[in-house]
């Protein structure tokens, strides 16, 4: 996709749910192998410390703006076309579209309970949805290779979309590392969508999501796991943005002089 903006060296596509779905359909129709990263602020920050991870994200066919700060920055640079394209919303939006179009889905990731509940709830919500496979892997290291028999299972399913729910950055390393082995055209790193849509974890109310304070809701729900990501990561994100903008202004001033 050509329409993108860059935040701290990370390419974010100027999309919304409709544009993202249209692009996914194009890849499916043309059988173009690619992967999609769903990027909150934490993804941008992880990319600051890991050049390999930044290369993986920047090599994705599409990187959607998940967090509201990325949406606000995108609107400043690309206009109102940019809207939050959040993992759970993208999953439900494309599943609804797939009922009409007949696209086939495979769900890889989450715990065994989350995976099972997710598929059950999607089948109930979308009775015509074609779910051709599901698999909840045991704990894996970030760059660990999947078993050949699991890859064979995914390939034999005939899926059009492979939803990968391992959490970031693990799911993005997994998609990039297995892209050449998997014949499903589109892989999407769905992040917490597995747990949220399965009903295992609570989602923040919509009004709180729109204000950009969803991180506070999630921090209150899981303080031990998320305190560093949000309290340290968000603070550093703001600092680096100001630093980048200040340096850019300084360079621009020197050029004018």
Q: What letter would DSSP give residue 200?
A: S
Q: What is the pLDDT along the chain (257 residues), one digit of tens a residue?
A: 678 999 999 999 999 999 999 999 999 999 999 999 999 999 999 999 999 999 999 999 999 999 899 999 999 999 989 999 999 999 999 999 999 999 999 999 999 999 999 999 999 999 999 999 999 998 776 778 999 999 999 999 999 999 999 998 999 999 999 999 999 999 999 978 999 999 888 777 787 778 777 877 777 878 888 778 888 888 999 999 988 887 665 434 443 34
Q: What is the pLDDT of residue 25?
A: 98
Question: Is residue 198 located within the same domain as residue 239?
Answer: no
Of the three residues 211, 229, 245, the one that is the final residue of a domain is 211
Question: Is residue 35 located within the same domain as residue 56?
Answer: yes
Question: Is residue 227 located within the same domain as residue 136?
Answer: no
- As a whole number of angstroms, the distance between CA 12 and CA 34 comes to 16
Question: Is residue 93 located within the same domain as residue 118?
Answer: yes
Q: What is the pLDDT of residue 232?
A: 86
- As a whole number of angstroms, the distance between CA 54 and CA 52 comes to 5
pTM: 0.91
Question: Is residue 36 located within the same domain as residue 104?
Answer: yes
Report angle CA 188, 190, 195 to the nearest 5 degrees: 155
Question: Is residue 198 located within the same domain as residue 223?
Answer: no
Q: Which of 42, 8, 12, 69 shows the shortest CA–CA distance to 209? A: 69
Q: At 139, phi and psi to the nearest 5?
A: -55, 135
Question: Is residue 104 located within the same domain as residue 207?
Answer: yes
CATH number at residue 203: 3.40.50
Question: Is residue 188 located within the same domain as residue 145?
Answer: yes
Q: Round to the nearest angstrom and report the end-to-end CA distance of the chain.
A: 37
Q: What is the pLDDT of residue 255?
A: 39
The H-assigned helical ranges of 143-229 are 148-156, 170-178, 193-198, 206-211, 214-221, 223-227
Question: Is residue 175 located within the same domain as residue 94?
Answer: yes
- As a whole number of angstroms, the distance between CA 99 and CA 132 comes to 13
Q: What is the pLDDT of residue 256?
A: 38
Question: Is residue 165 located within the same domain as residue 250?
Answer: no
Question: Is residue 114 located within the same domain as residue 226?
Answer: no
Residue 118: count of CB within 10 angstroms of its CB? 28
Domain that holds residue 229: 214-256
């Amino acid at each position: 996709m050509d329409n993108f903006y860059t935040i701290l060296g990370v390419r974010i596509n100027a999309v919304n749910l409709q544009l993202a779905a249209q692009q996914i359909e194009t890849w499916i129709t043309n059988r173009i192998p690619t992967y999609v990263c769903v990027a909150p602020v934490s993804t941008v920050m992880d990319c600051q410390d890991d050049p390999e991870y930044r290369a993986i994200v920047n090599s994705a066919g599409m990187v959607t703006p998940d967090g509201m700060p990325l949406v606000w920055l995108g609107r400043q640079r690309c206009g109102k076309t940019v809207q939050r394209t959040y993992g759970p919303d993208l999953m439900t939006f494309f599943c609804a579209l797939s009922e009409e179009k007949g696209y086939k889905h495979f769900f890889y990731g989450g715990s065994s309970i989350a995976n099972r509940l997710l598929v059950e709830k999607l089948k109930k919500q979308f009775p015509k949805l074609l779910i051709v496979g599901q698999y909840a892997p045991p704990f894996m290291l970030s760059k660990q290779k999947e078993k050949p028999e699991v890859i064979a299972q995914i390939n034999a399913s005939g899926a059009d979309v492979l939803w990968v729910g391992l959490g970031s950055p693990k799911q993005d390393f997994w998609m990039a590392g297995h892209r050449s082995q998997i014949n499903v055209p589109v892989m999407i790193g769905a992040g917490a969508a597995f747990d949220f849509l399965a009903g295992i974890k609570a989602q923040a109310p919509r009004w709180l999501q729109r204000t950009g304070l969803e991180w506070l809701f999630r921090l209150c729900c899981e303080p031990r796991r998320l305190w560093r990501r949000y309290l340290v990561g968000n603070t550093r994100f703001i600092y680096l943005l100001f630093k980048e903008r200040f340096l850019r202004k300084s360079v621009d001033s020197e050029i004018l002089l």
